Structure 1
C-alpha cells in the first residue's frame, strides 16, 4: 500500500508540474482552469491527511490555478489564490531557512524528504521570488500599485541577495526580469528619479548575459534598452555602457 501511494505521488507531482505547460496549447482556457481547480482540491485533501508532506504540491497547484484565472481575465479571483501561494512558499522557505544557504553550494543529491521525495531546500526560494512577481502583476491588474511595489521589491531582494549571490549563472536572468518589474512599479507610482538606477542595473545584467549567450538574451537586452530609451532618452544609453 505504501509503495502504491509513493508511486501515485510521483505520478501526481509529474502531472501537476507539467499541467500548466500542456493545458494552454491543447485545451481551452476554461478547461485548463477546471483542471487546475481540481488539482488544488485534490492537494488540499492530501495536505489534510499528510500535512507538510503535500505542502509543496499544493503550492505548485495554487500557482498554476492563479495563472489560469489570470489568463481568463479573472484577476479579482486570482489575487487571493496567488496570495495563498506566496504564503505557502514563504512558510516552506522559513521552515528550511537553516539549510538553504548551506545546501545551496552542496552536492545536487543533498536534500530533505517531503512526502517521500527529496526536495532541495534552496529550491523553495526561487519559487517564493517568482510567486511574489506573480502577486505584483496581479495587484497591478487591479490597479493596486502602492501595494505592488513592496512585493516586487522583496522579490528583487530574494533574487539578488539569496540566489544570484550564490549562483549568478542560474539566477541573473531572473534578477534582470525582476528589476524590469520593479521599474514598472516605480513608474506606475511616478517615482521616476528612482527608476534610473534600476534600469541601468537591468541593462548591465542583460549586457553581461548577451556577452555569454547572445542568441538567448539579445531580445531581452533590446527590450530593456527600449524601455530605457522611452523613459530617459539616448543620453542614458550612453551612460549605461
Structure 2
C-alpha cells in the first residue's frame, strides 16, 4: 500500500490533472488501513494532512465531488490528532469539518450523517480541552440529528447503531460532569436501542451494549442506587460470557473498562461493584508519596516567590512521578490528580492558561473516577480542582463552561462545609465569591448579587469568631458586593460595602500572597469611577488612591 501511495504521489506531482484524484483515493485507502494500529497514528496524521491539501485542491475545481471528501479528511484528521493528545489542534480541524458539513447538508440531505459524526468528534475534542458546556451542545446536536435520521429510516440498522452510540457518548459525558440524574435516561435510551438492534440482528453491537450497561451502572452507583443497578449488572454479565467465548480480545478490554468504572469480575464471571481490600502502604509507597508531596510543595513555594520557570519544572516532575506510580498502583491516581492540580496552578501563574485547563481537566477526571472509592479524601480535591478549572476557563472566555464548573465546585464545598464548618466554611466563601463573578460573566446579575450577599454574610460570621483572619477574602467579598449592587441599579447601597473594604485595607495592609491585589485594584478603580459619577467625590478619591496603591505594590 505504501508503494502505491508513493507511486501516485510522484505521478500526481508530474501530472496533477490526470493523477491527483487517484492519489487522493490511495491516501484514503492507506489511512483506512492504518486506523486500527495506534502505533501508526503519527504517520496517519501526516498522511491526513497531505490528504486535506489534495482534496482542497480538487474541490477548488470540482466542488460537488470533492468537498464531501475534504470534510471527511478533516474529520478523520481531527479524530487521529486528538488521539495523539494534540487536542487544541484537533479541535481546529473538527471545527472546520463541522462548518463544511453544515454547508454541504444544506444542499444535500445525505450529508447529515457526516455532520452528526463531525459534531460528535468536535464535542469530544472540546471536552478534552475542558470546554464541557460547548461539548455537550455539540453532542446533543449530534444525538438530535441522528434521532431524526433514525426516525426517517427506521429499518436502517446502521443509523440505529449510530444513534445508540451517540446516546452513550452523551450519557458518559453528562456523568463525567456530575450530572448523574440527567445521564440515566440517556443511557437507558441507548440500552433499549441496543437491545432492539440485537433482537433484529443477533450478535450485533453487543460490546457497545455492554459498555452502555456498565456506564448506566456507574451512574446509579454515583447516586447510591445500587439496587437498581443489579439487573443491569446481570445483563452485562450475560453479555460478557457470550462475548468472551467469541472474542478473545474482549476479555482484556473488559478488564480495563471494569477497573476504570469501579467494578470487578469474579472467578464465576459475575460483574460486581469493586470493593478493594484495604491495602497497607509499603515503605516504598510511603517514601514515594513523600517525594511527590515534597516536589509539589517546592513547586508551589517557588511559584509564590516568583521563580515560575523552576516551579514549572518541579511541578512537571511531580506529575511524571505520580503518573508512573499510578500505573503501578491504581490508588496513586489521587496523588496524580493532586499533582496535576498543582501543575495547573503553576501553569496559570506562568500565563499558560490553555495548558492549565488541560491539566486541571485531567485532575477533575481522575477525581471523578476515584470519588466512590475514597469520597472523604477525593471530594475536597475535586471541589478545589473544579474551582481552579472554572477560573481558568473564564480567563479564556469560556464563560458557560466556567459557570458549570463553578456551580459544581460550590455544591461540593457546601457539602463539606455542612459536615465540618470550621475546616471548610472559609473555602466555601472563596468558591462562592468566584461563582458570583461567573454568574455576572453570563449576565445572571440577580443571582450574582444573591451570591455576593451570602459571601459577605459568611465572612462576617467567620471574622466574628476570628477578627484577625480572613482579611483578604472579606475585602474581596465587600468590593465584589459593591460591583454587584451597582450592576443591578441599587445605587444607594454601593457606597457602604465599598468604603468598608477600603477602610479594612487601610487598617491591615498588605494582603499577602493570596490577596490577588491586581484584580482588587481593578475593582477599586471601577468603583472609584462609579462613585465620582454618582456624586461621592471625596469617597471616590479615597477609593482611587487605594487602587493606585495596590497597583504600585503589584508592579513593584
TM-score, scaled to structure 2: 0.36
Say if 1:134 and 1:3 are closer, same or farther in 2 by CA, change over 3 A: closer
Q: 2:410 aligns with which of 144, 156, 178?
A: 156
Map 1:118-137 to 2 at 5 A: 122-137=376-391
Superposition deviation, residue 181 in structure 1: 0.7
> Residues 75-114 of structure 1 correspond to what in structure 2 (within 5 A)?
75-97=353-375
The 5 Å alignment of 1:205-216 reads 205-216=458-469
The answer to whether structure 1 residue 51 and structure 2 residue 330 are counterparts is: yes
Identify the residue that residue 109 of structure 1 maps to in structure 2.
Answer: none
Asked if 1 retains the 8 angstrom alpha-carbon contact of 2:318 and 2:339, the reply is: yes
Quote the Cα distance in structure 1 between the aligned partners of 2:319 and 2:481: 40
- Structure 1 residue 36 and structure 2 residue 36: aligned? no
Map 1:217-232 onto structure 2 (within 5 A). Answer: 217-232=470-485
- CA shift, 1:28, in A, is 2.4
1:95 is paired with a residue whose SS is coil
CA distance in 1, matches of 2:495, 2:303: 38
Match of residue 440 from structure 2: 187
Question: Is the contact between residue 406 and residue 434 of structure 2 (CA under 8 Å) also seen in structure 1?
Answer: yes
The 1:208/1:95 distance shift into structure 2, 3 A limit, reads same
Q: What is the match of residue 539 of structure 2?
A: none
Contact 2:292 2:318 in 1 (8 A): no
- Separation in 2 of the partners of 1:9 and 1:42? 8
Q: Which one is further off, 227-236 or 69-78? A: 227-236
CA distance in 1, matches of 2:399, 2:350: 21
Out of 479, 493, 496, the position equivalent to 1:235 is: 493
Q: Distance in 2 between matches of 1:164 and 1:4?
A: 34
Q: Give the direction of change, closer, same or farther, for the CA distance of 1:50–1:192 in structure 2 (3 Å limit).
A: same
Displacement of 1:204: 0.7
Q: Is the 8 A contact 1:228 1:237 kept in 2?
A: no
Give the distance between the partners of 1:32 and 1:41, measured in 2 at CA: 14
Unaligned stretches of 5+ in structure 1?
98-121
* Inter-partner Cα distance in structure 2 for 1:20 and 1:63: 12
Q: How far, CA to CA, are the matches of 2:320 and 2:473 in structure 1?
A: 37
3-state SS in 1 of match to 2:340? helix
Paired position in structure 1 for 2:346 = 68
Which residue is equivalent to 1:110? none
Alignment of 1:1-20 (within 5 A): 5-20=284-299
Deviates more, 1:22-31 or 1:79-88: 22-31
The structure-2 alpha-carbon separation of the partners of 1:165 and 1:61, relative to structure 1 and needing over 3 Å to count, comes to same
Q: Which residue of 1 aligns with 2:422?
A: 169
Please, which runs of 5 or more residues in structure 2 have no aligned partner? 1-280, 486-490, 498-556
- Where 1:73 maps in the other structure, the secondary structure is coil
Counterpart Cα distance in 1 of 2:495 and 2:374: 42
Moved more, 69-78 or 2-11: 2-11
TM-score of the superposed pair, with normalisation by structure 1: 0.80
Deviation readout 1:200-236 (Å, 9 max, x if unpaired): 1111101100100111024422321222122214437
Q: Is the 8 A contact 1:225 1:237 kept in 2?
A: no
| Shift in Å, 1:22 | 2.6
Matches within 5 A, 1:130-149: 130-149=384-403
Between the aligned partners of 1:7 and 1:48, the Cα distance in structure 2 is 16
- 8 Å CA contact 1:16–1:60 kept in 2: the answer is no
Q: Secondary structure at the match of 2:468?
A: helix
After the TM superposition, which segments of 4 or more aligned residues of structure 1 sit over 6 Å from their partners? 236-239
Deviations 1:186-210 (Å, cap 9, x if unpaired)? 1111111211211111111011001
Question: What's 2:534 paired with?
Answer: none
In 2, Cα distance between the equivalents of 1:56 and 1:88?
7
Cα distance in 2 between the residues matched to 1:63 and 1:214: 31
Is the CA contact 2:295–2:314 (under 8 Å) kept in the aligned structure 1? no
Q: Give the drift of 1:51.
A: 2.0
Counterpart-to-counterpart distance in 1, 2:347 and 2:335: 18
